[in-house]
Amino acid sequence: MELVIERERDMAFQTEFTFELPRGFVDPAGTLHREGVMRLATAGDEILPMRDPRVQQNPGYLSIILLARVVTKLGSLAAVDTRVIENLFTMDLAYLQDLYQRVNSMDAPVYRGVCAHCGQDVEIPINFLEAVV
């Protein structure tokens, strides 16, 4: 099959994702905060918390620190820190952990093309781990 490859132009690269927590965070004044923003994680976001004594003592704490680094907004709170993440309801913590995995997982890259024979749009997966010799 002969393919004509097209490059996608003007692709928007999304780095921030809005969300709404299932239950919400209740601050000390009793205000409910449900809507927020999560940004893509950087290498530093995943590496630097490994030095934190709380993570060395309890590896499960890594997700708390990661989420505190990447959740940039939650309702009208001035900042989101580990205390906020620690005090989320478990349903909301699980929701944010799932969102983190989904937005930071690597989708397999593909070339989008058009089949030269039939004219149909096709996606050609690219697997960099399996080199063609």
Both structure tokens of 52: 């934190």
Residue type, 67: L
What confidence tens digit (pLDDT) does each residue in 102-120 have? 999 876 667 778 888 888 8
What confidence tens digit (pLDDT) does each residue in 62-108 have? 999 999 999 999 999 999 999 999 999 999 999 999 999 999 987 66
Residue 22 lies in a domain: yes
Residue 130 lies in a domain: no
Q: Assign residue 10 a region: left if phi > 0, alpha if psi is -120 to 50, beta otherwise?
A: left
Number of domains in the chain: 1
Q: Which domain holds residue 45?
A: 3-125
Residue 131 lies in a domain: no
Nearest residue to 51 via CA among 40, 41, 62, 60: 62
What confidence tens digit (pLDDT) does each residue in 12-37 have? 678 999 999 999 999 999 999 999 99
Residue 132 lies in a domain: no
